[in-house]
Amino acid sequence: MTRQAVSTTGAPAAIGPYSQGIGADGLVFCSGQLGLDPATGNLVEGGVEAQAERALKNLGAVLDAAGATFADVVKTTIFLVDIDDFSAVNAVYATFMPEPPPARSTVGVAALPKGGLVEIEAIARRASR
């Protein structure tokens, strides 16, 4: 199995020893994306909805760099600091995911890096490159 790092300036640079994504055997494994502005590295203002939207835009940029789109996503995981934000994040998420939506898990967590409120990761399939 050959692994290829996926990298883009359209999403925040990794803040640790990991890749924005890894392509392997026709799959793309995208690292979790926070609601960080790629230009500043700071969380966007506007609460959980704004952070969810920015996280999904960041995720879309990583997918694009890997030659995939949201239509290729087969599984996502959403991490929420406050599980009561489920409905608000769900509404934003629904605007990015085409039918049929991917399989998904949503998990409540104690904290996220940089004080984020939401983090979203994805696994996608892609055509052979």
Is the confidence at residue 30, as pLDDT, over 90?
A: yes
3-state secondary structure 25-63: CCEEEEEEEECECCCCCCECCCHHHHHHHHHHHHHHHHH
Encode pLDDT of 34-80 as tens digits: 999 999 999 999 999 999 999 999 999 999 999 999 999 999 999 99
Task: Copy the structure tokens of residue 85.
Answer: 């934000």
Amino acid at 85: D
Number of domains making up the chain: 1
Query: What is the reported pLDDT for 129?
Result: 46
Residue 28 sits in which domain range?
A: 3-125
Question: Do residues 76 and 120 lie in contact, with contact meaning Cβ atoms separated by under 8 Å?
Answer: yes
Assign residue 46 the CATH number of its domain. Answer: 3.30.1330.40
Q: What are the pLDDT digits (tens) for 76-128? A: 999 999 999 999 999 999 999 999 999 999 999 999 999 999 999 999 998 65
Q: Give me the helix-helix angle, 86-94 and 47-65, nearest 10°.
A: 40
Whole-angstrom CA distances from 15 to 19, 35, 101 are: 9, 13, 29
